[in-house]
Amino acid sequence: MVGSLWRKLRVRVLRSLVLLRGTVRRILELVNKNRDVAVFAISLFTVATFLSIASLVGALPLGDRPVATDSATAGPVYTPRPTRTPIVRLEKYGTAGDNVEYVNLLITALLKRNPNAGGELLINTLASGGFNKKTMEVTPDKTVSGYDADAIEFSVQFDGRCIVGQKGGAGFSSVVLPKLKTGHCLVGKTRPIDW
């Protein structure tokens, strides 16, 4: 494929050079005869040259770059240009699915700084990231017996769907789930978010 593109490009270049030589000759003849016609011809020549260059550039495969291979029989392998990493941010009017990556980013950064973060710090981190505390739920940090909870669950509600996160001994994970029939995201006892 690349070989045929380069052959086509070479043919176009050679044709353009032949046309260019003939055009330059005609322009020089016109300059000797009539100055106004010569100015018009030079302008036309400039436009034609620009269009020729544009068509030559259009024939090149600029999107991908060939990579050399060891095998003489295999053709070049194309590698795509690197893409930019999208900026992850709060989509206030988005869905739970639109915002789960942002929640993951916020909570992962928090847990790198403070692996023992409790529910209040998890909720405050989400609130500082732009989420509304009124749409959040969190389970208690302590068990009924007063021991540290094995895991703390939290959620953020978006239009009938919930981003549910869990931070515990196995690390952090999150998932998008439908809202429960109770109108909440979490099952069981949650603590009031009154801070």
Give me the long-range contacts of 184-190 (CB less than 8 A, separation at least 24).
184/137, 184/155, 185/137, 185/155, 185/156, 185/157, 186/137, 186/138, 186/139, 186/153, 186/154, 186/155, 188/139, 189/139, 189/140, 190/137, 190/138, 190/139, 190/140
For residues 6 and 165, what is the distance between their CA atoms, to the nearest angstrom? 54
Q: If pLDDT is split at 50, 70 and 90, which confidence band does 14 have?
A: low
Contact 172, 152 (CB under 8 A): no
Q: Assess whether pLDDT exceeds 90 at residue 180.
A: yes
- The values of phi and psi at residue 79, to 5°, are -110, 135
The stretch 51-66 carries a mean pLDDT of 54
Tokens of residue 22, six digits: 């003939």
User: In this predicted structure, what is the pLDDT of residue 43?
Assistant: 67
With both helix axes pointing from N to C terminus, report the angle between 2-33 and 35-59 in degrees, rounded to the nearest 10: 180
Q: Assess whether pLDDT exceeds 80 at residue 42.
A: no
For residues 137 and 11, what is the distance between their CA atoms, to the nearest angstrom? 69
The model's pTM is 0.56
